[in-house]
Amino acid sequence: MDHLVSTTWLSEQEIIALLDRARNFHKYGARELPGKYTVSNLFFEPSTRTKISFEVAERKLGLDVVPFESGFSSTLKGETLYDTVKTFEAIGVDALVIRHSDEGYYEHLIGKTNVSIINGGDGSGQHPTQSLLDLFTIREEFGSFEGLKIVIAGDIGHSRVARSNADTLTRLGADVTYLCPEEWAGEFDSTSEWTEELLHSDVIMLLRVQHERHDGKMTFTKQGYHEKYGLTLERAKMMKDDAIIMHPAPFNRGVEIDEALIECSKSRIFKQMEYGVYVRMAVLEAVLNGRK
């Protein structure tokens, strides 16, 4: 595997192999990669979890990590993303993790540089490593995906997490329902009402309301959104005993999810963050081994 920019580039067999490798890291701990590799993380949008998770994964694998801060880079002088990537290639970087607001930014890079690209999130397009860590979390809980009923609720149309998970979960056999305000559905067939059947699903995956992508046109108050589309305490009481709550974070407390549910026994939100390191180690290993 030379790059990982979209889940659609992965076969089901490759997805399972990455999850197996991540489980191996989880169970037996990290092993430094043979050989010497240099990587950097180019984040042009704010990030805490993804950026730090990649950095921890890279250091556990023994990689040299070149620091990069977009706010102090030549991009402020008008340098294009392509020229930035070519610069990293020239100074000897093997792989770049890139987050950028432009959807599909990687299409202008693949095939034009020898640097391996890992997509850390592109606009409303794809977030492949978040999808893989979500899959890892679900698999650790239920053992497989076939026949699981999963609700993805929130800002669906703007969500690269929803887009990546819609691809992977359905291909692996899960039954996915999308719940959101009608105007946030994007290309997805969705419902705008919580029903008892939906609340009896195996997984309720909540998504952040992405205020930054609404151009100031948010039509809901925080309380209004929570009451109609959020996971309230009352709705959580209707969930199955063995069902779990997921959220890619950052979460808006009291909006997508009641604050009291964030660390409840059904919540796997912080487990998702922990598992993200193992998944990103597996991805980095696969991509860097692909360069041999």
- Domains of the chain plus CATH, in order, are 3-127+273-290 (3.40.50.1370), 129-272 (3.40.50.1370)
DSSP E strands, the chain: 38-43, 64-66, 95-100, 116-122, 149-153, 175-179, 190-191, 203-206, 244-246
* 112 is known to lie in a ligand binding site: no
The residues pairing with 96 across neighbouring beta strands, listed in sequence order, are: 40, 117
* Res 60 pLDDT > 80: yes
- CA distances to 30, 74, 98, 116, 272 from 39, rounded to whole Å, are 17, 19, 11, 9, 24
Look at 284 and 71; give whichever has higher pLDDT: 284
* 22 is known to lie in a ligand binding site: no
- Which pLDDT value is given to residue 216? 60
Sign of CA dihedral 23, 28, 32, 33: negative
- Which pLDDT value is given to residue 50? 97
What share of the chain in percent tops pLDDT 70? 97
Contacts of 151 (CB under 8 A, 6+ apart): 176, 177, 178, 179, 198, 201, 203, 204, 205
Contacts of 25 (CB under 8 A, 6+ apart): 278, 281, 282
* 208 is known to lie in a ligand binding site: yes
- Which pLDDT value is given to residue 43? 97
- Within 10 angstroms of residue 260's Cβ, the number of other Cβ atoms is 12
As a whole number, mean pLDDT of residues 161-167 equals 94
- Which pLDDT value is given to residue 211? 66
What confidence category does residue 212 fall into, taking pLDDT thresholds of 50, 70 and 90?
Answer: low
Q: pLDDT tens, 95-139?
A: 999 999 999 999 999 999 999 999 999 999 999 999 999 999 999
* 34 is known to lie in a ligand binding site: no
- Which pLDDT value is given to residue 199? 97
* 253 is known to lie in a ligand binding site: no
* 49 is known to lie in a ligand binding site: yes
As a whole number, mean pLDDT of residues 58-73 equals 93
* 21 is known to lie in a ligand binding site: no
* 51 is known to lie in a ligand binding site: no
Model confidence pTM above 0.75: yes
As a whole number, mean pLDDT of residues 190-197 equals 96
* 160 is known to lie in a ligand binding site: yes
* Res 45 pLDDT > 70: yes
CB burial of residue 84 (10 Å; 0-12, 13-18, 19+): buried
- Which pLDDT value is given to residue 292? 62
| Stretch (H or E) spanning 132 | helix 128-142
* 249 is known to lie in a ligand binding site: yes
